[in-house]
Amino acid sequence: MKDRYQPILEPFVLPNSTQLKNRIVMAPMTHGASNTDGSISDMEIKYYARRANGVSMVITAGTSVMPNGGLAGSAAVDSDDMIPGLNRLASTIKDHGAKAVLQIFHGGRKSLPLNGDVVSVSAIPEDKEEDILQHILTDTEIVEIIHAFGEATRRAIEAGFDGIEIHGANGCLIQQFFSPYTNRRSDRWGGTIEKRMTFPLELIDEVKRAIRQHAKEPFIVGYRVSPEEPETPGITMADTLVFVEAIASKGLDYLHISLNDFWSVPRRGIDDSRTRLEIIQERVGSQVPVIGVGNIRTPLDTIKALQTGIPLIALGREIIMEPDWIKMIVQGREGEIKTTLSEKDQDKLVIPDSLWKFILDVPGWFPVETE
């Protein structure tokens, strides 16, 4: 291995004393390969087993905390019946040497319709072209969802995971509460930025309560956030800085910034030419470790990213294309690391049919070489 890549392999200790063996994390990637009832499929197990060697931590695709919060092909953690399959997944990841973190979420208006409608923070449709009935959440129902995140955390503990990641990004329900675009409420859950933060902050408290009650050893709690939205009104970088300070005060183990490009800069809200990640790192990095992600492909990309002060780097698309990424650095074969896909790669890379279809159907998402 070349000395220049040594920083990638440096251990890192999270605030709860969990030691990560290196600085590379597998990012949560939607794969749509779970069984139709939300249980863990054999294909899912194979997919994660192929990628858990090398990285320090695997964050799973989102698992829904309630039946009305899931996406097509997503796993569920909404009942105790799911624990055996989740235990199999956690054991597989851990047996391959990585920490196993279960991402938990509720899709809100992005979810599959249940009984003909979807639950929503406010009457703002996900797709203006579709006439899907929206059920506006009542105060009682909101409290029930918060409780469901606590129960999902308990199940993750019982299933043997090392931690959970609260999915507050990518337009799912938690982000829908924080966003002034999707949250038009005038009760205690909406209006001012402080009220729009009520749901995610109370949810964090509930998750931490469940951990205190059920975990017998250190249990990781991470939070994933999208720093801005394109809509008007929408989340601005100024909003995000207020929000991440509030999150950081909760004593989490990491803050995961969901970006397509690690080097992207703010679009509005503050006057700062630095990257979003550098700004967030300066604001809260001393309180909570920040995970950066977004189009990092090569070891040199990673070294450059680590040099910004961000301590942990998540690989998503790259770890799909090159499951042996860490191994190849250790063996001095970094020049052979794949950064593109061939149309013949599916079986070799153990990519589920559902994810392979996503890859081929979304031009530009992955660099796919045609024959």
- Give whole-number Cα distances, 215 to 158, 211, 219, 289, in Å: 8, 5, 7, 22
Q: Does residue 355 register a pLDDT over 80? A: yes
Q: Which are the contacts of 136, defined by CB distance < 8 A and separation ≥ 6?
A: 119, 120, 121, 122, 123
Spatial distance between the Cα atoms of 304 and 262, rounded to a whole number of angstroms: 11
Using pLDDT thresholds of 50, 70 and 90, give the confidence band for residue 151: very high
Domains along the chain with CATH numbers: 3-333 (3.20.20.70)
Q: Which residue has the tokens 């509720």?
A: 106
- For residue 148, give the nearest of 188, 207, 220, 60 by alpha carbon: 207
Residues pairing with 342 in the sheet: 369
DSSP character string of 28-39? P-----S-TTSP
- pLDDT value at position 1? 84
Through-space distance between the first and last CA atoms of the chain, rounded to whole angstroms? 33
**Does 266 sit behind a cis peptide bond, omega within 30 degrees of 0 on the bond before it?**
no
pLDDT in tens, 92-115: 999 999 999 999 999 999 999 887
Average pLDDT over residues 132-153: 95
Predicted structure pTM score: 0.97
What is the Cα 196 distance to its own chain's centre? Answer: 21
- pLDDT value at position 103? 99
The pair of structure tokens assigned to 202 is 């109370």
Of 81-85, 127-131, 183-187, the range with the lowest mean pLDDT is 127-131
pLDDT in tens, 63-98: 999 999 999 999 999 999 999 999 999 999 999 999
Average pLDDT over residues 9-30: 98
